[in-house]
Amino acid sequence: MPDATGMIHEIAEYDRDSIHTLPLAIVPIKTAAMRSARLIRNVRLETRIELFREKGMGSGQIAVEEVPDFFPDQGDLKDDILLLRRLSQLPAFDPYTLRIGLRQAGVDILSLDAFQLSSAKKRELMPLMQNITRPLMQHLYGDGDAAGPNDLETLIERVATPDTAVVRKRIDSMANGLGIGVEQLPDMLESYGDTYLALSYYRSYFLYCLPAVNRLLSWIGDVKDSGNLRHDQSMQKAIARVEEILTFVSNSVTRRFNGFDRETVVRWDQVTVETFNAVRGAISRHQRSLAEVLCGLTVKVYEWEQKFPSGGGSPDKRADFVAAEVKPGLDRLWAMERRAPKFANAA
């Protein structure tokens, strides 16, 4: 895989699939010493350059403005800082956000493969793709046919090479409904599948965050009536605000995914190009805000799980963590979720 001088190093699957980390080796950073670093969204929802992360040592982070203090200028540092500032403005660092954001910023991508989910992550997301794969399989093969494939990639291969006259007739009907030739159908399904895979990717983070946020809220709530904290009005106000935001954001994102469940169902026997465009449009409208909100929730609950893996912690330690690491940046998530698109008749 090419690097900034010609080759980039192999990307760890964690970084490839992560919503909050960006290995600088995959973007055109010219300062060689910087290519082993990562851009991250930290627990305070600040964008920082992570120079190292070691167990027992923590994470070594610097702000973009501090780059000249740590890296020698060999003539390209000014351009690198400008690129880092652009990247810092992205709502998250997942492959979908990066592809869109870098294209809009006019940044050259060294390797398109570096902005794809890993094969392992795609396999992990397949159960979340059943809203598209199961109805398509049932349309092509019938409700009771167990011989049909249940993953989108294999389904697309079957569409390209139908194995029975009945399946071929149904494929012809789908292509007619979409106003395209049968030979174009596999590419359209692949494009649609990639869009739905993005939704499944964000849903996977939500399914991780939601129960963790509920546990975090319970953990925070336990300290409100503890010792001197019950008389600390400033801390009581901070805890109440954290609880309000986390509850609002969790409930709002839940309603959004419920909306997706209703609005992204495709009737394959009646499919039209308008159907495809409506579903893709809905996912596209929500992409940026989902990415930013889920990135923020992820780093919050991940840091909490790392520092308090079995819960616990004294009331004072919990209060300190809430004030120093949970609360910072939450108002931004609250504002983003309030501005986010809404589905009509959200349940």
- The arithmetic mean of pLDDT across residues 92-116, rounded, is 84
Q: What is the pLDDT of residue 339?
A: 97
Q: What is the pLDDT of residue 143?
A: 60
What's residue 6's pLDDT? 39
Give the pLDDT of residue 207: 97
* Residue-averaged pLDDT of the chain: 89
Integer angstrom CA distances of residue 166 from 18, 140, 142, 193: 42, 8, 10, 23
List the single range of 268-277, 315-324, 326-335 with lowest mean pLDDT.
268-277
Per-domain boundaries in the chain: 13-116, 117-347
Q: What's the pTM value of the predicted model, to 2 decimals?
A: 0.89
Residues 6+ apart with CB under 8 A from 304: 212, 216, 219, 321, 325, 326
Q: What is the pLDDT of residue 7?
A: 38
Share of the chain above pLDDT 70, in %: 93
Residue 55 or 222, more confident: 222
Amino acid of residue 106: G
Instruction: Give pLDDT tens digits for 222-266.
Output: 888 887 888 899 999 999 999 999 999 999 999 999 999 988 888
Tokens 């308090």 belong to 308
pLDDT at 4: 35
CA atoms within 13 A on the CB side of 309: 1
Q: List the beta strands (DSSP E) in the chain.
A: 21-23, 38-41, 47-54, 58-62
Distance CA 205, CA 279 (A): 21
Structural contact between residues 138 and 130, judged by C-beta atoms closer than 8 angstroms:
no
For a pLDDT cut of 90, what percent of the chain falls above it? Answer: 60
Residue 45 has pLDDT above 50, yes or no: yes
* Inter-helix orientation angle 273-307/95-104, to 10°: 110
CA 88 to chain CA centroid, nearest Å:
16
